[in-house]
Amino acid sequence: MSIIFEPVQLGPLRLKNRIIRSSLAGRFDNYDGSGTDVRLNWDVRFARGGVAAIISSNAPVHRRGRLVPGFALIDRDDRIPFFRELAKRVHEHDCRYIVQLNHAGRHRGIGDLEFPVGVSSTDRSEPIHGFPCERLSVAGIKELVDAFAQGARRAREAGLDGVEIAGGNGVLVTQFLSSAVNDRKDDYGGSLENRARFPLEIVRAIRAEVGADFYLGFKISIEERMNEVFPWLRRGNTVGESVQVCRWLEQAGVDAIHVTAGAAFPHPRNPPGMMPVRDFMRSYDTMLSSGSRTLRNYVVFRTWPLSRLFQWQWERPTKRLGIEGINLPESRAVKAAVGIPVLCGGGFQTASVIAGVIESGACDAVTIARSLLANPDLPQLFAQGLDRPPKPCTYCNKCLANFLENPLGCYEESRFASRDEMIRQILSVYRGDPLPAETA
Amino acid sequence: MSEARGNGRPAAATIFEPLAFRNLTVPNRLFRSSISGRFDNYDGSGTQLRIDWDVKFARGGVGTIISSNSPVHPRGLIVPNYAHLDDDDKIPFWRELGERVREHGSAYIPQIAFSGRQRDIGGIQYEKGLSSTDKPDPLHGFECERITVPQIAEIVDAFAQAARRVREAGLDGVEIHGCNGYLITQFLSPAINDRDDEYGGSLENRARFPLEVVRAVRAAVGDDFHLQFKISAVDDHRAVFPWLKEGTTLEDSIQVCRWLEEAGVDAFHVSAGSLFPHPRNPAGSFPIADAIRSYDTMLSSGKYTFRNYLMFRTPPLNRVLKRRWERASRDGVEGINLPLARAIKQAVSVPVICAGGFQTASVIAAAIEDGSVDAVSMGRPLIANPDLPNLFAQGLDRAPRPCTYCNKCLVNFVENPLGCYEESRYDSREQMVRQILSVFEGAPLPSEVQ
């Protein structure tokens, strides 16, 4: 049998196979951060499809830490019953559930009513969209460290199987780690050691709160490569610095490192693939009031040949390197430096590729988002002996471009017999959780 | 306390008199107009949030609740996340909603609707709306296809089936959304309808579609079920852009109402305007700063939206637009449609309900007593004060913090939860946010969260 279906131990957590659903969801919850049945339907769909574990979509530990409204929060004890129900429903399918604890910092696609302005390590607005922010005080940092610890405690009380700290992709932890963002002069900025202080404090606080026998993962952008978004931006952290951070994280009590890329979201390497400018234009309009540079971006999306140039620049790295396994070099570097398991994301959807990278020691398990969105039953297909699903993910990124305004689902019409079939698949999340094969 | 009134009769005595329609008696003269946020699922299935939203007003004492627009077909949605009435599988939700509202003594009347070309956000299912014409709307540039005669028959049947579902759900009546620029207006209005078949041209032809809808609904629900029709008494199509055609006049609307009454309508609900929003509906301010924050979501919906967005952002263009918009209500907002409602009331023999900024007990009572109208409907003033009817019953003439007609609720609803966004009505911004988000906590009344 393929190594894909060999169990793996992540610290205290045993997984039945090597496929984990990465954090992925639409704006399925209530504006106030309370969870809904739609979110249950969404996550249960992947549990039924056979993944060993699900990492929740980003769950803010504080209301001010929302990326966009419409995602379930884990900021108060009265959220616990919802997550308990979610755990119960996912466990029914022999699948583990890991909550991704997040604070978006300044990286908020849509600000909310309560907090129009985000917080960050800096007071400079985010360079791509121009999201405004206030600089966190040391007291504010301590509060957020505690908010992460309380989020983890709630996850444990809800009967979930672990937590993952969102530390990559441009969220608040990245804003501290990143040399391209963090401009502090105090204990939390400057040297790598100082920039890593905030995440390490979070890890220790969580460990102190939940004990040693509860899974604690850390997701980190090993290469930040901000210059791949716009060439005039500073590059940010590179593999040498990030590997050192991973060593410190391991010492502080992290059970696994989850490798991703880019100090912004989205980024040409995450999710790697195409830049569907037309779809983005239809959805990005929602963000115009969120930042000082959004109107510029929107005009670029609307204006040929600027849109084409942006698209070309965006797609350059993946055209050069390929998509499936694009983060493997970074994963290998981390794996060589730490003793804990490494999870790697980035376009995986071919059984032989996944088995190969695990056997080669590049990582211990893979995390998948878009390819599972296209084929929620991908693990079952692998178990049946298929190397690839009949209609694989095309990495078109239309799912990403649509999620702000429309229900998350696969928007690649070429994968469906008709547009109607595509719509039916997208809307099926509201009616329980039939797999695409059951609705087609 | 209550205004001094010439006749010595308390306003509440008039307002809280039951109103008997042919097939339905409602407990008082106050209707909650169709108003709601994007509280349901994207696929048109209803949620607990919608129930909590509507129950809030029932608890506040309003006699009748008209649902927010309920599409009879998915292509007829105005914006996603409103509960549909397009399928029998929606009936249990509506039954539950009706039961919960009636626990508080209010009647519940769904408004059945089809957007046509006027869709704030069209959703993923149908790229273009359907209209009497194939020309985009002049304000936002929403694109559409011209509806064919067989498609008209399908939509007529969809209205009838939706009305049947309303009856099967045990609700109290049904309102046909025939105004504010949506599909029925798009047929009625000579400024929009450019057909040369039997559904366009003469007034009789333009009224053919709504009359077919009324007859089909009547046939589906039987003669003993309440059926009301909401109509824009005037189009005032040039209110925003003076170079457009004028549209439907009051005289035309009166004739249409006579025909509709003959076809089986039990009551008229009078509004105004051939677009939504329109300077006359909801009448009041044009809140530019809030519009900029929310209208961005609609940029991909129409051909002229980006132009509008840039106009909102650009002084002095935005000031010019604001001034032009607010001209329509320069003589006051409350009762802006009363002269229109009075004219229709004189021409028909069924009761007339009037919309338009009502929130003063003495004004409402006077309008009923002088025979202008039989009842009033309220949208924004009830968002501001869901317990306004209870306040009237206690003898207050106005709420201590009345609606300011700022229309910030209107412009926020596309992106944010519906609620009162007029910060000046609250002690603090936090209090305002708490009130807006209270709908997610089972909708306590503002007095209970403050």
Owner of token pair 């059970």: A255
B389 pLDDT tier (thresholds 50, 70, 90): very high
What number of CA atoms fall less than 13 Å from residue B232's CA on the CB side? 30
Burial B161-175 (b: 16+ CB within 10 A, else e): bbbbbbbebebbbbb
CB of A299 within 8 Å of a chain B CB? The answer is no
- Is residue B368 within 8 Å of residue B375, measured between CB atoms? yes
Cβ–Cβ pairs < 8 A, chains A and B: 63
Looking at residue B3, its pLDDT comes to 53
* Cβ <8 Å between B121 and A288: no
Residue B182 catalytic? yes
Cβ-Cβ contacts under 8 Å for A46 (sequence gap 6 or more) = A21, A54, A95, A372, A376
Identify residue B75 by its one-letter amino acid code.
R
pLDDT at residue A428 greater than cutoff 80 = yes
- C-alpha B403/C-alpha B401 separation (Å) is 7
- C-alpha B399/C-alpha B415 separation (Å) is 28
| B297 → closest Cβ in A286, A402, A430 | A286
Q: Mean pLDDT, to the nearest integer, of B104-133?
A: 97
Q: Mean pLDDT, to the nearest integer, of A84-105?
A: 97
Looking at residue A400, its pLDDT comes to 96
Q: How many H-runs (helices) and E-runs (strands) does chain B carry?
A: 18, 12
Q: How many H-runs (helices) and E-runs (strands) does chain A carry?
A: 17, 13
| B416 → closest Cβ in A113, A298, A430 | A113
pLDDT at residue B449 greater than cutoff 80 = no
Looking at residue B7, its pLDDT comes to 84
B8 pLDDT tier (thresholds 50, 70, 90): confident
> How high is the mean pLDDT of chain B?
95
Burial A395-431 (b: 16+ CB within 10 A, else e): bbbbbbbbbbbbbbbbbbeebbeeeeebbbbbbbbbe
- C-alpha A409/C-alpha A426 separation (Å) is 5
* Cβ <8 Å between A430 and B43: yes
Within 8 A of A430 by CB-CB distance, chain B residues are 41-43, 45
Q: Mean pLDDT, to the nearest integer, of A222-236?
A: 95
- C-alpha B328/C-alpha B235 separation (Å) is 13
pLDDT at residue B110 greater than cutoff 70 = yes
pLDDT by residue (tens digit) across B170-198? 999 999 999 999 999 999 999 999 999 99
- C-alpha A128/C-alpha A296 separation (Å) is 10
Tokens of B319: 């000031």
pLDDT at residue A438 greater than cutoff 50 = no
> How high is the mean pLDDT of chain A?
96
Owner of token pair 């539950």: B96
B239 pLDDT tier (thresholds 50, 70, 90): very high
CB of A316 within 8 Å of a chain B CB? The answer is no
Tokens of B411: 């412009």
Question: What's this model's pTM, rounded to 2 decimal places?
Answer: 0.95
Q: Mean pLDDT, to the nearest integer, of B107-111?
A: 98
| B296 → closest Cβ in A34, A282, A288 | A288
- C-alpha A375/C-alpha A426 separation (Å) is 12
In this predicted model, which residue has the larger pLDDT, A112 or A247?
A: A247
pLDDT by residue (tens digit) across A291-344? 999 999 999 999 999 999 999 999 999 999 999 999 999 999 999 999 999 999
Q: What percent of chain A has pLDDT over 70?
A: 98
ipTM of predicted complex = 0.93
Catalytic residue chosen out of the listed positions B82, B108, B182, B405 = B182
- Is residue A262 within 8 Å of residue A268, measured between CB atoms? yes
pLDDT by residue (tens digit) across B363-381? 999 999 999 999 999 999 9
pLDDT by residue (tens digit) across B263-306? 999 999 999 999 999 999 999 999 999 999 999 999 999 999 99
Q: Mean pLDDT, to the nearest integer, of A276-291?
A: 93
Residue B313, exposed/middle/buried by CB under 10 A (0-12, 13-18, 19+)? middle
* Cβ <8 Å between B124 and A31: no
- Start-to-end Cα distance in chain A: 30
Which helix H or strand E contains B269, and what residues bound it? strand B267-271
- Comparing CA positions, the residue from A396, A377, A388, A379 lying closest to residue A350 is A388
* Cβ <8 Å between B300 and A282: yes
Tokens of A64: 């001010």
Looking at residue B4, its pLDDT comes to 57
B441 pLDDT tier (thresholds 50, 70, 90): confident
- C-alpha A348/C-alpha A354 separation (Å) is 7
CB of A36 within 8 Å of a chain B CB? The answer is yes
What is the three-class DSSP state of A67? coil
- Comparing CA positions, the residue from A216, A224, A226, A175 lying closest to residue A198 is A175
Identify residue B238 by its one-letter amino acid code.
R
Looking at residue A364, its pLDDT comes to 98
Looking at residue B447, its pLDDT comes to 47
- Comparing CA positions, the residue from B279, B252, B266 lying closest to residue B191 is B252
Q: Mean pLDDT, to the nearest integer, of B337-351?
A: 98
* Cβ <8 Å between B297 and A406: no
